[in-house]
Chain A
Amino acid sequence: MKIGVLAIQGDFAEHIAMLQRLGVETAEVRLPRHLEGLDGLIIPGGESTTIGKLAVDFGLLEPLREFGQTRAIWGTCAGAIFLSKDARRNQPLLGLMDITVQRNAFGRQVDSFEADLDIPELGEGGPYHAVFIRAPILETVFGEARPLVALPDGRIVAARQGKLLATSFHPELTADTRFHRYFLTLAG
């Protein structure tokens, strides 16, 4: 299996390191031709406005939308925003998932946090330690998408729609490989 990581901006190297730990072949994706031969794609954390702008400038929007019709894509934080249909702001989005997001939903950087979450979908291994950095929430999850993880106050922080996955938090910043392994089951 070969998984690409969108390497326009953000913490793509952390995702690649995680995938390599799991023995997966990886590729950095900066241009449309880099999508060839991939079984799945991760859109990393970073700044969604930067990633969106450069995706437009280098002709990646349509190829990414097409890729997402048949293959697995996982967006973490900025990547989740990029996958959404609406981010309450005029910025380029893929619109692949039936979710809308609120950016910086918890406040500014001083409000960034870590927390343990129960994620039954991941199976064994106890609570999942999640890192939220200026994180968005998935404000609405509708249509084909379904919520995967919510905070105790009900705010949704992960959703899945077939082979598409969106998380507000950053599994690539932890040593816990369960979320990456979960994504590989969607891609494989």
Chain B
Amino acid sequence: MEQQTGTFAVKKGLAQMLKGGVIMDVVTPEHAKIAEDAGACAVMALERVPADIRAQGGVARMSDPELILKIMDAVSIPVMAKCRIGHFVEAQILEAIGVDYIDESEVLTPADEEHHINKHLFKVPFVCGCRNLGEALRRIGEGAAMIRTKGEAGTGDVVEAVRHARAVLGEIRRLTTMADEELMHYAKEIGAPYELVKETKELGRLPVVNFAAGGVATPADAALMMQLGMDGVFVGSGIFKSGDPAKRAAAIVKAVTHYNDPAILAEVSKNLGEPMVGRNVSTMPEIEKIAGRGW
């Protein structure tokens, strides 16, 4: 029997298994255990959550492989890790240590200002951020097997995640009403591969799983993203920068499952303690925003 590994179907397949779930940023094995016990469907292993990367500044790079390996040892759920945009050697290292998914992330300082990683060359699957349909389809064209909104990471302000989700989903809705002869022009206009534009029209959705990310801090934020039509939610700083991470993590997990049930959402939103303090994106200087990274 021939076994084929690293196919697009298995890369995309793992993301399909994560749907309806919450992927949490963790910086220690202890955090990872808390996340797993709270019902996270995967964790993102990193040295600093985005809020701290913002606060501390400097160049943000791939995390120490030793830390990532310790987190992989601590939990049975999939472990993701971030590499810099275009930094294919960081990605090779993450693949070599066996992470389950790589996030080629704008949260880290970009290593290439024109090119993303050729993700087709890897057996490990990649997730990438986007702000609109063209960006999502460019990343899929490069081999990404999962997409997420960029939002504005580390702010606890959901407004950018909503903007990016509405952009992608709204553009797909418009695409489904276009005549076939309009697709080439549209592909050119949004800078996306024609075949993927065509496929997206036929499917009425992105060809890969599409999560929300960047600013989700409460159960209501998570349910909002799900009701808008996202497949699941990443929560970065929102959990471990809050007053009671275990409780908030469990509440956000429940909110994603029962996103359409306001009575349950009300119940899980009670007594969660202090949310992360947050930064208001609308009053943030342009230079501090990271969603513009990526090409």
Contacts and interface: CB of A to CB of B under 8 A. Distances in A.
Interface residues of A, number: 41
Interface string A109-123: 111111111000000
A30 B101 CA distance: 28
Given A54-B257, A112-B5, A115-B4, A49 B36 contact: yes
B123 interface: yes
Contact of A114 (B10, B20, B95): B10
Contacts of A82: none
B63 interface: no
B17 A78 contact: yes
Nearest to B97: A108
Contacts of B4: 113-115
B131 to A, nearest CB: 25
A117 B1 contact: yes
Nearest to A133: B13
B119 to A, nearest CB: 14
Interface stretch (A11-19, A65-73, A139-147): A11-19
Contact of A111 (B5, B9, B72, B253): B5
A112 B20 contact: no
A8 B257 contact: yes
Given A10-B21, A46-B21, A47-B21, A104 B124 contact: no
Contacts of A160: none
B248 to A, nearest CB: 15
Interface centre among B14, B39, B95, B123, by most chain A C-beta atoms within 10 angstroms, is: B39
A114 B101 CA distance: 18
A115 B18 CA distance: 22
A7 interface: yes
B188 to A, nearest CB: 31
B253 A108 contact: no
A119 to B, nearest CB: 12
Given A110-B124, A173-B9, A115 B1 contact: yes
B13 A47 contact: no
Given A109-B101, A134-B78, A47 B3 contact: no
Given A30-B257, A50-B40, A8 B20 contact: yes
Interface in B73-131: 76-78, 95, 98-101, 123-125
A151 interface: yes
A152 B253 CA distance: 39
A179 B4 CA distance: 21
Contacts of B37: 53
Contact of B20 (A7, A53, A117, A132): A7
A187 to B, nearest CB: 23
Contacts of A30: 257-258, 261
Given A47-B41, A114-B9, A133 B76 contact: no
A134 B41 CA distance: 13
B76 A108 contact: no
Interface centre among A57, A108, A115, A117, by most chain B C-beta atoms within 10 angstroms, is: A108
B76 A9 contact: no
A56 B234 CA distance: 23
A13 B37 CA distance: 25
B13 A112 contact: yes
Given A11-B17, A46-B19, 10 more contacts: A9-B256, A9-B257, A10-B20, A14-B16, A108-B100, A109-B125, A114-B7, A117-B1, A131-B10, A133-B13
Question: Which 8 A-B residue pairs are closest in the complex by CB-CB distance?
Answer: A109-B100, A112-B10, A113-B3, A47-B41, A11-B16, A9-B20, A53-B39, A133-B13
14 contacts: A8-B20, A10-B19, A10-B21, A11-B16, A13-B19, A49-B77, A57-B250, A78-B17, A109-B78, A109-B125, A114-B3, A115-B1, A131-B9, A173-B16
Interface of A: 7-14, 30, 45-47, 49-50, 53-54, 57, 77-78, 89, 103-104, 107-117, 131-134, 151-152, 170, 173
